Amino acid sequence: MIGICIELKTACKHCSSPLMLNAFTEEFLCRACNKINSIPQETWKSLLNEALEEAPDFEPGDGQPSTIMTGEYSFNLMYGRLEPRCGKCKESIDTSNMEAYSDQKIIKCAKCGNALFVRKPSELVTTCFPAVKYMVGEDENLLSQNKAGAALPAASKPVLFNCPSCNGNLQVTGADRMVDCKFCGSQIYLPDDLWFRLHPVKSVERWFMLVGEGGVSVALSGMPVWEDFADLTIDEQGNLYVASDNLTVWSVGPDLKTRWVRADLRIDHDDTGLALTHDGDLYLWNKKKRSLLKLSSKDGSTVRKIEGKPPSKADPYPFSMYGCSTLVSDRDGTILALIFNTVVRYTTEGERLQLWKGKKFGLFSSGVGKEVPEKDPEWAPCVKEIGSFPKRVDSEFTRLNMGWDGFLYFLDRSSSDARLAKYSGDGKQLWSRPIPLDDKEGKPCADADGNVYLLGKTERSHTNLVRYGPRTGKFETLLTDVVEGGFLHDEEHLAVSREGRIYVFDSYGRMKVFSPRLEMTYRSEKSEADDNEAIEDMKKELEKEKDLG
């Protein structure tokens, strides 16, 4: 995790007295005038968005001041990249066991014993900045539900004060500036010198946010905007490649900053696919076109075009992407595709070649496979009905992908009893497993350890992400729908990095990123809005059911 330090102050909008924002909360009580100052969610976003976007890229110890003006307030902000440290002796705080510290609400400095308040982010913090995992060093009193009755500083002991009306001795605690005389019943407004004795002016104090690794943006800043979504893939360095509207292909780095955009391809996003090549570039195709484009992963430029053509009597096995629903670049560089229910393999020059090296009939190989029809293919089996060395499979519902473990995966998306199958490079089926999802979305994605990730929906139409573990031989649910208390909602496209970082996308700017530990490190503004709407709709339905019940 990365530490981001914050120092923030403003002035009370009621009396202009200094107001120290030493915690991430929506209400601050001015001790000078005893009135509340509200700092709503949208103001917090505008205050700290830049800090959370920029500070992770700073060198440790570097910081930056900023002045931010709104309609009612002018804020003085200092932010930087710094691990949590003691406010008294400046000793660094051990952050290796934050889960336990957050349960205890406290962490003590190993050098001087000073106690720092620790908590997990509130709903306010998480809504603004999903990447924040822990808050350290805030003023706990500012988070009190009863801010007027929050704890007084240790120096502020109860004092005796004489009633101006009857001269009776009153013991004043400072809980309220208006006190009642217990002798004569008069209401007394405590004078400034006494009030400030009980409520000394606080200085600005540094507090910290610990954020998950990776992108911590709250908006699509620096990233292309999209409506329709076609496909995506990811390379070994963690660079994402996306095919979207009409047809734009673009790439962002692991920091979610744009690397390049290619917007002149003029291919409809419908039925378009994108795949990583064995040498780190990209294949782009559309099932209504015959040719295949190879694009540079460095800048999106065209490396080459493999021309396609229809079959003929002279050449019944030509190169053609017409009807191609899914494609991978195999480890040996050959192109394996599903086209009109037919499994085909091509060289990088577009020549049809032996389908599976592991299949031989005596001295003869398995051959190049079946001829590819031009339209209306005959029935073909689905994944659960095929074994090793498949030549035909239902291409409408089957998706292929190469895992980071070097194996080939077939995913059947046709029905609730569909299967996921793992294949070696020579065509042997290593296993086939039923999938605990009713609807399957996107492609199967495997990390370097052979864990296979699938995105889809349950029988209640809730979006879930499941993972098959090769060691356990079982599926486990990793992420659930927001209406189930999780983080997903209606996403349909999935990519997984080599080390297990998870990316989910959908149309209209919806995107989320999760670390290998399943921490949400990025959520686009559109995803956040849709998630909140889904939660509100669920609450309304529950209220309606409650009223009817």
pLDDT tens per residue across span 220-252? 346 788 888 999 999 999 999 999 875 689 999
Whether residue 121 is found in the same domain as residue 52: yes
Mean pLDDT highest for which of 103-117, 143-157, 259-273?
103-117
Mean pLDDT of 323-333: 95
Report which of residues 528 and 151 the model is more confident about: 528
Whether residue 90 is found in the same domain as residue 110: yes
Whether residue 177 is found in the same domain as residue 80: no
Indicate whether 6 belongs to any domain.
yes
Indicate whether 136 belongs to any domain.
yes
Rounded Cα–Cα distance for residues 426 and 420 (Å): 18
Structure confidence by residue, pLDDT tens digits, 3-62? 999 999 999 999 998 999 999 999 998 877 878 999 998 899 889 988 887 888 788 999
Rounded Cα–Cα distance for residues 155 and 105 (Å): 23
pLDDT band (50, 70, 90) for residue 94: confident
Structure confidence by residue, pLDDT tens digits, 393-424? 999 999 999 999 999 999 999 877 899 999 99
Whether residue 63 is found in the same domain as residue 170: no
Q: What is the mean pLDDT of the chain?
A: 88
User: pTM to 2 decimals?
Assistant: 0.61
Whether residue 172 is found in the same domain as residue 113: no
Tokens for 264, please give them.
């002149």
Whether residue 34 is found in the same domain as residue 162: no
Indicate whether 546 belongs to any domain.
yes
Whether residue 96 is found in the same domain as residue 133: yes
For every residue of 92-150, which 3-state class applies, written as one string? ECCCCCHHHHHHHCEEECCCCCCEEEEECCCHHHHHHCCCEEEEECCCHHHHCCCHHHC
Whether the predicted pLDDT of 146 surpasses 80: no
Mean pLDDT of 503-531: 94
Indicate whether 493 belongs to any domain.
yes
Whether residue 15 is found in the same domain as residue 142: yes
Indicate whether 482 belongs to any domain.
yes
- Structural domain span for residue 474: 435-549
| C-alpha distances out from residue 346 to 112, 182, 290, 353, 521, Å | 69, 95, 13, 6, 39
40, with CB counted inside 10 A (0-12, 13-18, 19+), is: exposed
535, with CB counted inside 10 A (0-12, 13-18, 19+), is: middle
Indicate whether 429 belongs to any domain.
no
Whether residue 534 is found in the same domain as residue 462: yes
pLDDT at 82: 93
Whether residue 47 is found in the same domain as residue 102: yes
Tell me the three state secondary structure of residue 49. helix
Helix or strand holding residue 400 (H, E): strand 398-402
Decide: 321 and 346 in contact? Cβ < 8 Å: no
Report the CATH number that the domain containing residue 508 is assigned in CATH: 2.40.10.500
Beta carbons within 10 angstroms of residue 469's beta carbon: 13
Indicate whether 132 belongs to any domain.
yes
Indicate whether 266 belongs to any domain.
no
Tell me the three state secondary structure of residue 438. coil
Decide: 221 and 525 in contact? Cβ < 8 Å: no
Whether the predicted pLDDT of 176 surpasses 80: no
Tokens for 3, please give them.
């530490």
Whether residue 99 is found in the same domain as residue 164: no
Whether residue 138 is found in the same domain as residue 164: no
Decide: 341 and 380 in contact? Cβ < 8 Å: yes
pLDDT band (50, 70, 90) for residue 196: low
As for how many domains the chain has, the answer is 3
Rounded Cα–Cα distance for residues 179 and 507 (Å): 60
